[in-house]
């Protein structure tokens, strides 16, 4: 079908302090399998002080790959990508990072997909694998890898708002479309410039369609030295709030009376996945922020959360965003806690622990089976320290037995009992899924990736069955681990 069609691709590669990693990318470019494509590479030396540019010059003189080296004073990765985009000549353009690498059939697989589906899509996305140094082999562990469980396919982002794109390294765009839209990478940002580039481009389309190329693997390197831009952002205060103040909030609020599309709301919630849960961990807490910066971050999150509907906030299922984080965003947005939010009871050796999310100042009462007020052996009430917020609290009560009824400000809360072996994060996520009507393995503390079957009717039956089996096996393993824990108690 595609034998007579040749896809032309320009890869724009910024260079800055990547001398130890660049040889792997160059070797992977040399190793690319032939296919229905023509490739040229635009390297942009962003004033790199090491030997990266000289390395590329030597490689260009010896390789059969068509390429050019462009030089500029150091201006950041966004400026380098803009410069490379201006020099691109292919029908399609992509932006691989210089410290990553590509599978041997990467461009051939993408070209075969584009040759068939180019007229059906607005951009394409390759499967992203992670190389976690010092481990030698890439792993399929990316948080959004569920998108590719259905094989190569075309997906409407309007119909499936959890299928979105935040990076440009593994994405392919029509160069003419980018130029017609005036798409440019924002300079001066310290995080999420990729995601905002993608979002701004797609907001110009009524119903964006993404081509998911599961057969092409982009290999993202997690450096053992932890010196990449992704690793460094946690030490820069601006990275916590700048992307929201100058990026997401203007995009969300600028969508008019119809409000932002759900896929854009999902992109914001994905960013929150990496920002909120870790604040309760010793290694992830944003100690780099002073009190004023923590308040700025909360205001920025609140400004964005106001444009996320309650429906999208609790139906979002791309990652395992904890219910507690969702409830915080709900309250920051100026909304009450949904009436389905429960009081969560877990059995302990000396009784029952009752955990009830409430807004600050809310009154809570427990009642026994006879309808009489019930006292607790111990009560604790605290605000989880998400950047010093004080609007969402957890009411913890240790009681002898499960109460008959729990009231918060005079309204009865659903009473949800934890299953044996469940942690509170798992219990609340299971309850949320039951309410919104989605199915997957309930998330545990620290989970990011969501395990759920592919149900899309357009996906081949064999792939749907394989994903169901995968989820069933993981569910079974979790049940076995629970049973073993119960035996040891």
Report how far residue 445's alpha carbon sits from residue 424's, in angstroms, rounded to the nearest whole number.
Answer: 8
Segment 170-194, tens digit of pLDDT: 999 999 999 999 999 999 888 899 9
* Mean pLDDT (whole number) for 150-175: 97
Pick the more confident residue, 454 or 23. 23
Segment 326-383, tens digit of pLDDT: 999 999 999 999 999 999 999 998 999 999 999 999 999 999 999 999 999 999 999 9
Reduced to 3 states (helix: H, G, I; strand: E, B; else coil), residue 327 is helix
Report how far residue 232's alpha carbon sits from residue 389's, in angstroms, rounded to the nearest whole number.
Answer: 25
C-alpha dist (Å) from residue 139 to 145, 201, 335: 11, 30, 40
Please give the order of strands across the beta sheet that includes 351-359: 378-382, 392-399, 351-359, 343-348, 415-417
Q: Of 185, 221, 1, give the one whose Cα is nearest residue 76.
A: 185
> What pLDDT score was predicted for residue 2?
45
Phi, psi values for residue 105, rounded to 5°: -105, 25
Report how far residue 227's alpha carbon sits from residue 20's, in angstroms, rounded to the nearest whole number.
Answer: 12
Q: Is a pLDDT exceeding 80 seen at residue 90? A: yes
Q: What single DSSP character describes residue 413?
A: E
Are 314 and 337 spatial neighbours (Cβ–Cβ below 8 Å)? no
Say whether the peptide bond before residue 134 is cis (omega within 30 degrees of 0).
yes
Report how far residue 93's alpha carbon sits from residue 184's, in angstroms, rounded to the nearest whole number.
Answer: 13
> What pLDDT score was predicted for residue 224?
52
Q: Is a pLDDT exceeding 90 seen at residue 135? A: no
Report how far residue 189's alpha carbon sits from residue 196's, in angstroms, rounded to the nearest whole number.
Answer: 10
Segment 216-244, tens digit of pLDDT: 999 999 865 555 555 556 689 999 999 99
- What is the pTM (predicted TM-score) of this model? 0.94
**R_g over Cα of the chain:** 25
Report how far residue 52's alpha carbon sits from residue 43's, in angstroms, rounded to the nearest whole number.
Answer: 10
pLDDT band at 68 (very low <50, low <70, confident <90, very high): very high
Segment 102-134, tens digit of pLDDT: 999 999 999 999 999 999 999 999 999 999 887
> What pLDDT score was predicted for residue 66?
97
Q: Is a pLDDT exceeding 80 seen at residue 145? A: yes
What's the chain's average pLDDT?
A: 93
* Mean pLDDT (whole number) for 249-274: 96
pLDDT band at 1 (very low <50, low <70, confident <90, very high): very low
Strand 351-359 relative to strand 392-399, pairing: antiparallel
> What pLDDT score was predicted for residue 486?
65
pLDDT band at 4 (very low <50, low <70, confident <90, very high): low
Q: State both tokens at 40.
A: 């040229």
Window from 32-41, 289-298, 473-482 with minimum mean pLDDT: 473-482
User: Apex CA 53: angle with CA 52 and CA 59, to 5°?
Assistant: 90
* Mean pLDDT (whole number) for 415-427: 94
pLDDT band at 488 (very low <50, low <70, confident <90, very high): low
* Mean pLDDT (whole number) for 437-443: 91
Those residues with Cβ within 8 angstroms of residue 427's Cβ, 6 or more apart along the chain or in another chain: 344, 346, 416, 418, 419, 442
Are 242 and 250 spatial neighbours (Cβ–Cβ below 8 Å)? no
Residue with tokens 């920002």: 275
> What pLDDT score was predicted for residue 482?
74
Q: What domains lie within the chain, and their CATH numbers?
A: 7-221 (3.90.550.10), 233-332 (no CATH)
Q: What single DSSP character describes residue 17?
A: S
What is the dihedral sign for C-alpha 251, 253, 257, 261?
positive
Are 305 and 334 spatial neighbours (Cβ–Cβ below 8 Å)? no
Are 405 and 367 spatial neighbours (Cβ–Cβ below 8 Å)? yes
Strand 123-132 relative to strand 209-222, pairing: parallel
């Amino acid at each position: 079908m595609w034998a007579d069609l040749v896809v032309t691709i320009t890869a724009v590669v910024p260079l800055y302090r990547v001398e130890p990693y660049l040889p792997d990318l160059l070797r992977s470019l040399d190793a690319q399998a032939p296919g229905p494509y023509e490739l040229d590479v635009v390297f942009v030396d962003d004033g790199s002080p090491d030997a990266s540019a000289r390395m590329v010059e030597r490689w260009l003189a010896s390789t059969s790959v068509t390429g050019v080296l462009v030089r500029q004073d150091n201006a950041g990765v966004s400026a380098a990508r803009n410069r490379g985009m201006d020099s691109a000549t292919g029908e399609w353009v992509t932006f691989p990072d210089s410290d990553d690498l590509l599978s041997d059939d990467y461009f051939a697989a993408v070209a075969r997909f584009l040759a068939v589906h180019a007229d059906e899509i607005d951009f394409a996305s390759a499967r992203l694998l992670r190389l976690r140094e010092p481990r030698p082999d890439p792993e399929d562990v990316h948080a959004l890898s569920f998108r590719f469980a259905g094989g190569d396919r075309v997906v409407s982002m309007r119909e499936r708002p959890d299928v979105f794109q935040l990076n440009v390294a593994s994405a392919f765009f029509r160069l003419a479309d980018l130029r017609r839209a005036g798409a440019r990478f924002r300079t001066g940002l310290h995080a999420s410039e990729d995601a905002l580039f993608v979002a701004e481009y797609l907001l110009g389309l009524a119903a964006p369609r993404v081509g998911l190329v599961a057969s092409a693997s982009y290999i993202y390197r997690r450096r053992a030295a932890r010196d990449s831009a992704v690793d460094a952002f946690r030490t820069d205060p601006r990275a916590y709030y700048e992307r929201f103040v100058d990026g997401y909030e203007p995009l969300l609020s600028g969508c008019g009376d119809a409000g932002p599309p759900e896929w854009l709301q999902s992109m914001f919630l994905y960013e929150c996945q990496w920002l909120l849960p870790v604040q309760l961990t010793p290694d992830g807490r944003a100690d780099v922020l002073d009190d004023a910066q923590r308040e700025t971050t909360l205001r920025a999150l609140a400004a964005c959360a106001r444009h996320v509907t309650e429906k999208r906030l609790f139906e979002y299922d791309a990652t395992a965003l904890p219910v507690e984080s969702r409830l915080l965003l709900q309250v920051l947005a100026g909304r009450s806690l949904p009436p389905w939010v429960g009081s969560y009871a877990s059995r302990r050796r000396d009784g029952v622990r009752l955990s009830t999310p409430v807004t600050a100042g809310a009154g809570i009462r427990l009642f026994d089976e006879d309808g009489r007020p019930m006292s607790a052996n111990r009560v604790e009430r605290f605000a989880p320290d998400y950047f010093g917020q004080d609007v969402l609290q957890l009411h913890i009560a240790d009681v002898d037995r499960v109460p008959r009824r729990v009231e918060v400000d005079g309204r009865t809360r659903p009473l949800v009992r934890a299953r044996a072996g469940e942690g509170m994060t798992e219990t609340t996520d299971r309850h949320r899924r039951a309410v919104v009507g989605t199915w997957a393995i309930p998330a545990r503390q620290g989970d990011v990736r969501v395990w759920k079957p592919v149900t899309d009717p357009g996906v081949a039956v064999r792939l749907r069955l394989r994903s169901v089996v995968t989820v069933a096996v993981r569910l079974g393993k979790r049940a076995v681990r629970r049973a073993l824990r119960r035996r040891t108690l």
